[in-house]
Amino acid sequence: MTDTSRYAAAMRGYYDEIAALRDMSDPNLSASGQADRQRAARVAASERLLAARPVLPKGARSRDDVLAGLSASSADEIARMQHEQAKVRTLLDNGRPLGEIIAAADSTRALAIADLVETLPQVLESNSGAEIVAEVRGLVFDRLADLGVEAAESVRDVEQRNAPDIAWHRAMSEAAAGSDASIAAWQDVYRADPDGYGVAHDGRDGQVDEWLRRFDAAVDA
């Protein structure tokens, strides 16, 4: 097996463990005893998945962390960002495609779009809002790297040299912490390792994910 196939198999095994956890039943246990056993099994499954992650290469950072670090902080920066956001809204209202705006943006406008995107009507009104936000922020990040913004450029260079390991590390970390990895994380996996993505998702049961969300919420309550 290749390295990436190991990661896909670990993720697949994790989902199978969660499905078994949902179906766990012991007539000799009380309801609270059953819940305690499920919680222990859930923690063990998460720990096994985390242990199977690839080691991150030196210099690897998440794109979201980079964008957050570049966002406006001073009063002057915030004012400039808001000014750019107003311009972007005007361009969009006049029919300019957002991708075209990003492709021609300077760093201030690009970062303004990354901050603005969640509140755009086409995002708020869409059933795929999270996917749109992830795609737009990805375009913004690449634009910043193309412009030579050091934080984005250096991270993209690390990504390009270590894309599968970085993508799987993020997806496996997020899945271990919740019911599933984020859409953005899975997009990274698909780009870096489409075959592995297919293995991890083959036969996935969305009802298991929903059960785990409810289970974790009950534990945290």
The tens digit of pLDDT for each residue in 173-193 reads 999 987 788 888 888 899 899
Query: Is the separation of the CB atoms in 157 and 151 below 8 Å?
Result: no
What are 91-150's pLDDT values in tens digits? Answer: 999 999 999 999 999 999 999 999 999 999 999 999 889 889 989 999 999 999 999 999
- Whether the full predicted model's pTM is greater than 0.75, yes or no, is no
CA distance 146 to 81: 20
pLDDT at 206 over 90: no
CA distance 51 to 106: 41
What are 49-107's pLDDT values in tens digits? Answer: 999 999 988 877 888 899 999 999 999 999 999 999 999 999 999 999 999 999 999 99
CA distance 79 to 84: 9
